[in-house]
Chains A and B, each alone.
Chain A
Amino acid sequence: MDLTLSPSEQGFRDELRAWLADNHPGEDPPGDDEAFEHRRQWQRQLYDAGYAGFSWPKEYGGRGATLVEQALFGEEMARARAPQPVNVLGMVMGGPVVIHHGTDEQKERWLNAILTGDEIWCQGFSEPESGSDLASLKTKAVKSNGEWVVTGQKVWTTYAHKAKWCMLVARTDQDVPKHQGLTYFIMDMEQEAVQVRPLHQITNEPEFNELFMEEARIPDENVVGGVGNGWSVAITTLMNERAGLGAASAAGMRMALTDLKQLAIERGVTDDPLIRQRIAQLAIEVELLRLNSWRGLTQIMKRGVPGPEGSLPKWQWGEIHQALTELAVDILGEDGADWESPWTYRLLRSRANSIEGGTTEILKNIIAERVLGLPKLR
């Protein structure tokens, strides 16, 4: 057991930390379009410094970073309170899918513009009637004259209004079991047949969108991983989404905890034994989130693939962030009702943490069935 960093890992971290100190873009400016451009610029800055597509193999323009370096990268970005680069979905999900399942032509066409941020990617998986039960999705793609014609609706599509490409999973065969009839497409968003409508969440931000497709066209060469293989291709991206995020989310919670302690000190409540107990419990759980993440990473390094226990940090993170923001608003008392308070915003936004990227209930199912070996409900 050795939880220290090697000299090269330490060197990497110090270099990144120094770079972030010199190049931090500052907070997002007000206004959705302004914030978007700010983050696109940030993406470009990361790309120019060789930090975009960090986990991607070098031959595809990435850095070929080790898992430890990836975790350190996430930790340092959170520690510096750096904004998310604009094309995070392309880098974390779309790019890895193309790298794993795509043809040489597809790699040539798409990969570089993901890293530079010149082409933004969005994700068309969930539908109004297919959330956790993703494989039941109904959006239909029919082949006609060498291209695919797509009709249906998607939802929770971040950056759909800015995206050039959509990772779209659609049903291409109605006559086989639901997991076998799906195909993974890369759909051009710039066509009349694709309509985007903003979806305002409880914070009143239009962070997500609804996506309507009425006979949208996708050329056959935009199928990734073969017709009928959409489920296993999509699962790769979901596993990629979860692997390695733990350390970054723990670092994010560590910053939130620092803010919380500062708030408690400012509000003069640090002598309240109940507040002290709650702060301590959060401090302990944030630390355990970090430790579970690093333990999970050690297991991935030994076995080569992310395991289902990668579901634990996502679950923990959601619970911690919700409890932390609840405590902050308790400390604020009546001021916690203030719509302008950043803590009020976080209180509300954190309610999505146990839903987005896999609900806590689905994560519990995965753990019960695949880690503990309990029988399936279905």
Chain B
Amino acid sequence: MNFDFTDDQQAIKRTANELLGARFKPDRVRELAESGSYDDDAWKEMSELGWAGIFIDEEHGGQGLGIVELAILTEELGYALAPVPFLSNAAAGLALQFAGTDEQKQRWLPGIASGEARGTVGMLRDGEARLVPDADSAEVIVLISSDGSTAVVEASAADIEPFETMDRTRRFARVRVDGGEPLGGDCFAAGDRIATALSAETVGVAQKAMEMAVEYARDRKQFGRAIGAYQAVSHRCAQMLLEVEGSRSGAYYAAWCADAEPESLPEAASGAKAYSSDAGWRVCASSLQVHGGIGFTWEHDLHFFLKRAKTNALLYGSASEHRERVAAIGLGELESSSAQPVEA
């Protein structure tokens, strides 16, 4: 029993934290977000370090590591609020690695692993996927719908309509396709891993928003003392810790299930996604409240975190949808190991 990272995993976390901290200082994130662009050099650097294919098997150009290592990276990417097309590409990698046919893997995984021919995933609802990250720069798009039907399509064959979301640290599009080839395997196994990686990203976002609140509460003085001495503020911060740590435990556990105990993954992944979706938003919103008026200004960085947390909450199944799935598993209506994905 060791609910902590191994030394190797700690090293990955440290490297990611340092590299992302250096590449994505707050001013740089702001510059990229305001111009709606990504840092291509940083993306290249990450890809050369093997991050893009960290969980992809070595046969297809990846590192052959697990979902725990992926979650470590996404948490740090969230913490740094990195404007890079990592999550979308990882989602496509997960879909193809865990549900693709041999042929699909051979065709797409090497480009995803190298970061040179990226992919993305969208949830298909009523013939359209309405929130697809980085569809406009991907080579391959995987669409998954609630009944388990799937389509793998070349991006050039899809109707892609980029649109602006509140989250300017990433780019999104609406996607429609005709036809496409289905995945060969269990798309829910892939969906659970995507939800897990995304939950870990939200943990990082919320962690940083909490740290900003605590720092501000220590520095900001009103009525002659630091506002963090007042329980109306300090208890708000304690609540943030409760929710951040809960989200973290849930995401780490789901990642471990994915690697070591897949029969527990559906409930763990949906639980993590539901809880982190709510917590991510609440922690950021609470941090904004601690900041007061300055937190509501465009010039303060907090709103970038708030918006990314909310967009993560809406992406790949909402909290309510994932809770519904947890209810169905818990009430014995679904076998955990063959659970359906969230309702679209």
Contact = CB atoms under 8 A, between A and B. Distances in A.
A283 B330 CA distance: 8
Given A1-B256, A279-B330, A374-B226, 9 more contacts: A3-B3, A3-B261, A9-B1, A284-B274, A288-B249, A294-B1, A297-B1, A361-B231, A365-B238
A374 B237 contact: yes
A287 interface: yes
A181 to B, nearest CB: 26
Contacts of B275: 284-285, 288
Given A295-B4, A365-B231, A372 B324 contact: no
Contacts of A280: 274, 323-324, 326-327, 330
Contact of A3 (B1, B218, B271, B324): B1
Contact of B249 (A68, A264, A291, A373): A291
A291 to B, nearest CB: 4
Interface stretch (A192-200, A214-222, A309-317): A309-317
A267 interface: no
A264 B332 CA distance: 12
A373 B234 CA distance: 10
Nearest to B233: A374
A68 B1 CA distance: 8
B237 A368 contact: yes
A286 to B, nearest CB: 10
A211 B74 CA distance: 56
Contact of A372 (B4, B241, B250, B320): B241
Interface string A282-307: 01110110011011011100100000
B229 A315 contact: no
Contacts of B3: 1, 3, 291, 294-295, 297-298
B331 to A, nearest CB: 6
Nearest to B68: A1
A284 B323 contact: yes
B196 to A, nearest CB: 13
Interface string B307-344: 00000000000001001101110110000000000000
A361 B68 CA distance: 35
A144 interface: no
A6 to B, nearest CB: 7
A202 to B, nearest CB: 25
A292 B217 CA distance: 26
Contacts of A257: 330
Nearest to B274: A284
Contacts of B249: 288, 291-292, 295
Contacts of A377: 229-231, 234
B166 interface: no
Interface string B240-254: 011001100110110
8 contacts: A1-B2, A285-B246, A287-B253, A291-B252, A367-B242, A368-B237, A371-B241, A372-B238
A113 interface: no
Q: Find the residue from B214, B233, B255 having the highest chain A CB count within 10 A.
A: B214
B235 A361 contact: yes
Interface of B: 1-6, 9, 68, 214, 217-218, 225-226, 228-231, 233-235, 237-239, 241-242, 245-246, 249-250, 252-253, 255-256, 260-261, 267-268, 271, 274-275, 320, 323-324, 326-328, 330-331
Nearest to A376: B229
Contacts of B246: 285, 288, 292, 316
A100 interface: no
A5 interface: yes
Nearest to A302: B4
Contacts of A371: 238, 241
A373 B214 contact: yes
Nearest to A371: B241
B118 to A, nearest CB: 28
A364 B2 contact: no
B228 A277 contact: no
A364 B234 contact: yes
Contacts of B330: 257, 261, 279-280, 283
A143 interface: no
B269 to A, nearest CB: 11
B1 A368 contact: no
Contacts of A276: 323-324, 327-328, 331
A99 to B, nearest CB: 25
A284 B267 CA distance: 9
B242 A312 contact: yes
B268 to A, nearest CB: 8
B234 A3 contact: no
Nearest to B247: A288
B241 A315 contact: no
Contacts of B323: 276-277, 280-281, 284
Contacts of A145: none
A33 to B, nearest CB: 40
B233 to A, nearest CB: 8
A136 to B, nearest CB: 18
Contacts of B229: 374-377
Contacts of A270: 331
A256 B217 CA distance: 38
A3 B260 contact: yes
A93 B238 CA distance: 27
Interface in A339-378: 361, 363-365, 367-369, 371-377
A296 to B, nearest CB: 9
A144 B27 CA distance: 71
Contacts of A277: 320, 323-324, 327
B3 to A, nearest CB: 4
A257 B214 CA distance: 35
A266 interface: no
Nearest to A363: B238
A2 interface: yes
A295 B267 CA distance: 19
